[in-house]
Amino acid sequence: MLQAEEGDTVLVKKGVYKEANIKINKSIALIGEDMPVIDGEAKGEIITIGADNVMLDGFKIINVGVSYTTDYAAVRVVNSTGFVIQNLELQKLFFGIYLQKSNDGKVLNNKVRGEAVTEFNSGNAIHLWYCKNVEVIGNDVQKVRDGIYLEFSDNIKITNNISKNNVRYGLHFMFSNNNYVINNVFETNGAGIALMFSKFMEVENNVIKKNWGTASYGLLLKEVNDVNMINNLFIENTVGITVEGSNRLVYSNNDFTSNGYAIRVKGACYDNQIINNNFLYNSFDISYNGRINDNKFDNNYWSNYTGYDLDKNGIGDVPYRPVKLFSYIVNRTPETIILLRSLFIDIIDFSEKVSPVFTPDDLMDNNPRMKLIQHDRN
Amino acid sequence: MLKILKYSFYDLMRSRWSYVYFLFYLLLGIVLLFLNNDLSKAVITLMNVIIILVPLIGTIFGVMYYYNSREFTELLLAQPVKRSSIFLGQYFGVATSLTMSLIIGLGMPFVFYGIFNSSAIWDFSLLLITGAFLTFIFTALAFVIALSNENRIKGFGYAILLWLFMAVIYDGLFLMSLLYFEDYPLDKFSLVATMLNPVDLSRVLILLKLDISALLGYTGAVFQKFFGTSFGLILSFVMLVFWVVVPTFFIWRIAKRKDF
């Protein structure tokens, strides 16, 4: 490999190569035939790419060193552009694919199987730091800390990935703007997607399910602005979406099914629109604190709606109030949750529904639908 | 005592009410399973029914049975039988037959549906056990009320009030005190307050076994830590047994002294 010139292709035959700290400093394509294994023997980093237009294809990389001071990765890309990293299989790793100040690349169809148990001694499968215009497509990451992690990275396309059983988040954004998250599956993670301090995102057609536990979320939004969440499925999460300090978000055409809370609004959220969603069999549809409401709820289907439709136009004649008094009380004094499903709670919920006293009285859906919305998901 | 228990039991088994009660549960179980097609969801719905209806029926039935069989009781009292065995026999007869109706009525549809092959079997057994406990507790309380009130109307009134207190008002007071003292750490208080009311205790015991316990968040974690250990579980069952034993003791004491 040392003899390779710029632009060469290096084919690697099947076998087990016990090597660590491989440095690629030329624009070459390194292609493995029949998945050769590179065993790093836990010595530290395995492959470092420091040149533009490098392609890495078809390797099984195992045994990355674990360190508490250095983020060792199976593949690290430093200050490079035009890289393609595809069809890798990573096992026994610390960090998986670590992109650092690298732009215009692709990370395709990689398979990562970690063995993470705790947050502090595990790394992220795909980690982007100060990157731009990268496509992350068709990867399958399981059992690591964060499935996909982005920090200070803009214009990233994340599509068709599967992120499962991760200790912390399926997908984690920090200070990253203008990104697309489309057609991904996030299942049984600590939290499905965590969006923090980011803006201008598109989150579409994702399936976020079974993120279930006392501190689990489907989608965590903290200090994010101008995000569109369209056509996503939230199924059986403890909290479908928990949102704090976020403005100008659009939630439309989503399905919230069998979650503990569908949307939990923690405050300082203004000018959000919740339109055309299905809320099905959630313990609490919306949880809200504070009495000011500047968010718009319209044209949703609520399975808990009990109103009628006399003029048969498919829109209920009585507005629906999605905030139960009990969820309001629980927000104020969390200990009261222990009265969940008690007869007394049902009675006060009912009386609050009839005449709202504590919950914001303008927080309601004026046009609740009578029938389930059939979303077109293609 | 056993003879009277046997007599009361057979008498009730032949009575219409036991059948109605039995059929009600049978129907409930079947309808729930047909509508839900999901055993663990059916268990949640059943929980609501059990913690509200079982105490109510236990109370009403206990009071009713005592007042209705009064003449027969007076006849028995004229015989050389121990007083305590008459009343305790009647009490256990009523409570056992109610429990039987509950367990068989609910058990049958679930058994046919295949509860034995399902992971919900433990939740379901816990549900039936707490249901049985609640029946015994509230029938005993009903007997105490009936024994200490000659006036039927008054007796019924107190019995309903007792149920209302346990099922609704207690939770209201509980909630109010939680809200009022929200600045203080409330974990211990809410644990104790839950332990003191058999209805709440059953509800929490069942809730913690179900999936929705994750909803309980931090408070739930405290409870889980307590009830999850064998100590907590044993303590809560001791509490339930205590709730059976104390009213039973009162039945025994009042029956001994009562002037007919």
Query: pLDDT band at residue B217, thresholds of 50, 70 and 90?
Result: low
Q: Rounded to an integer, what distance in angstroms lies between the CA atom of residue B153 and that of residue A109?
A: 77
Which residues, in sequence order, are bridge partners of residue A233? Answer: A207, A255
Please indicate if any CB of chain A lies within 8 Å of the CB of B207.
Answer: yes
Residue B194 or residue B37, greater confidence:
B194
Phi, psi of A314 (to 5 degrees): 85, -5
What CA–CA distances, in Å, run from A147 to A13, A112, A187? 30, 9, 11
The predicted pLDDT at position A148 comes to 93
Of B156, B125, B160, nearest to B50 by C-alpha is B125
pTM (two decimals): 0.81
Tell me what pLDDT residue A101 has: 93
Q: Which of B175, B187, B211 sits opposite A339 (nearest CB)?
A: B175
CA distance, residue A348 to nearest chain B CA (Å): 9
CATH of A1-189, one of 1.10.275.10, 2.30.30.40, 2.40.340.10, 2.160.20.10: 2.160.20.10
pLDDT value, residue B166: 92
**Planar angle of CA B120, B122, B127, nearest 5 degrees:** 95
* Number of Cβ atoms within 10 Å of the Cβ of B11: 17
Amino acid A354: pLDDT: 79
Residue B229 in this model has a pLDDT that exceeds 80: no
The sign of the torsion formed by the CA atoms of B117, B121, B122, B123 equals positive
pLDDT mean over B98-113 = 88
- In the structure, how many helices (H) and strands (E) does chain B have? 12, 0
Is it the case that residue A248 has pLDDT exceeding 60? yes
Q: Is A219 helix (H, G, I), strand (E, B) or coil?
A: strand
Q: Hey, CA dihedral for A109, A112, A113, A116, is it positive or negative?
A: negative
**Cβ neighbours of residue A270 under 8 Å, at least 6 residues apart?**
A247, A248, A294, A295
- Residue B123: left if φ>0, alpha if ψ -120 to 50, beta else—which one? alpha
Q: Is B196 on the interface with A (CB under 8 A)?
A: no
Instruction: Provide, rounded to the nearest whole percent, the portion of chain B with pLDDT above 90.
Output: 30
In this predicted model, what pLDDT tens digit does every residue of B38-63 receive, in sequence order?
A: 676 777 778 888 888 999 999 998 99
pLDDT band at residue B258, thresholds of 50, 70 and 90?
Answer: confident
- The amino acid occupying position A323 is V
Instruction: Give me the mean pLDDT over the A54-74 stretch.
Output: 88
pLDDT at B12: 75
Residue B213 has pLDDT above 70, yes or no: no
pLDDT, position B107: 87
pLDDT of residue B232: 80
Amino acid letter, A212: W
Query: Rounded to a whole number, what is the distance in Å from the CA of A272 to chain B's nearest CA?
Result: 25
pLDDT of residue A204: 92
d(CA B165, CA B171): 8
Residues 6+ apart with CB under 8 A from A374: none
Q: How confident is the model at residue A175 (pLDDT cuts 50, 70, 90)?
A: very high
Residues in chain B within 8 Å Cβ distance of A336: 175, 178-179
Interval A302-358: pLDDT, tens: 988 888 889 888 899 888 888 888 888 888 888 888 888 888 888 888 888 777 777
B178/A283 Cβ within 8 A: no
In A79-151, beta strands by DSSP E: 84-86, 89-91, 95-100, 106-108, 111-113, 126-129, 135-137, 140-142, 148-151
Cβ-defined contact of A335 to B174 (cutoff 8 Å): no
Report whether A28 contacts A8 (CB < 8 A). Answer: yes
pLDDT score recorded for residue A213: 79
Interface predicted TM-score of the whole assembly (ipTM), two decimals: 0.81
Q: Which of A20-34, A44-58, A312-326, B110-124 has the lowest mean pLDDT?
A: B110-124
Gap between the Cα atoms of B258 and B136, Å rounded: 22
Q: Which of residues 66-85 of B touch A (CB under 8 A)?
A: none
Is residue B74 scored above 80 in pLDDT?
yes
Using pLDDT thresholds of 50, 70 and 90, give the confidence band for residue A169.
Answer: very high
Average model confidence (pLDDT) for chain B? 85
Distance between CA atoms of A274 and A365, rounded to whole angstroms?
9
Q: Sheet holding A126-129: strands in order across?
A: A22-24, A47-49, A73-78, A95-100, A126-129, A148-151, A169-174, A191-196, A217-222, A239-244, A261-265, A284-288
pLDDT in tens, A115-137: 888 877 788 999 999 999 999 99
- B21: Cβ–Cβ under 8 A, 6 or more apart, which residues? B57, B61, B98, B101, B102, B105
Residue B24: CB atoms within 10 Å: 17
Provide the pLDDT for residue B211.
66
Question: What pLDDT digit, counting tens, does each position of A182-226 carry?
Answer: 999 999 998 899 999 999 999 999 999 988 877 888 999 999 999
Residues 6+ apart with CB under 8 A from A235: A207, A208, A209, A210, A255, A257, A258, A259
Q: List alpha helices for chain A, DSSP H.
A: 325-332, 343-354
Closest CA to A247 of A272, A273, A274, A219: A272
Measured between alpha carbons, how far is A117 from A167 in angstroms, rounded to an integer?
7
User: Looking at CA atoms only, how far is residue A204 from chain B in angstroms?
Assistant: 27
pLDDT averaged over chain A? 88
Paired tokens of A162: 């599967």
Checking if the pLDDT of A290 tops 80, the result is: no
For residues A314 and A245, what is the distance between their CA atoms, to the nearest angstrom? 34
According to the model, what pLDDT value does residue A3 have? 63
A213 touches chain B (CB under 8 A): yes
Say how far residue A22 (Cα) sits from the centre of its chain: 32
Residue A314 in 3-state DSSP? coil
pLDDT of A255 over the 90 cut: yes
Answer positive or negative: Cα dihedral of A307, A311, A313, A319: negative
Task: Report how far residue A68's alpha carbon sits from residue A248's, in angstroms, rounded to the nearest whole number.
Answer: 39
Task: Name the 3-class secondary structure at B9.
Answer: helix
Q: Which amino acid is at A144?
A: V
Cβ-nearest to B207 among A260, A329, A341: A341
Identify whether the C-beta of residue B1 lies closer than 8 Å to the C-beta of residue B83: no
Residue A2 reports pLDDT greater than 60: no
Q: Do A340 and B207 touch (CB under 8 A)?
A: yes
Angle at A237 between CA A279 and CA A323, to 5 degrees: 45
* Residue limits of CATH 2.160.20.10 in chain A: 1-189
- Our count of domains for chain B comes to 1
Q: Which domain holds residue B12?
A: 2-257
What number is the average pLDDT over the span B114-136?
85
Predicted confidence (pLDDT) at residue A236 exceeds the cutoff of 70: yes
> Of B15 and A41, which is predicted with more confidence?
A41
Whether residue A171 has pLDDT greater than 90 = yes
Helices B187-196 + B217-228 axis angle, to 10: 60
pLDDT of residue A1: 57
| Residue contact B217–A214, C-beta within 8 A | yes
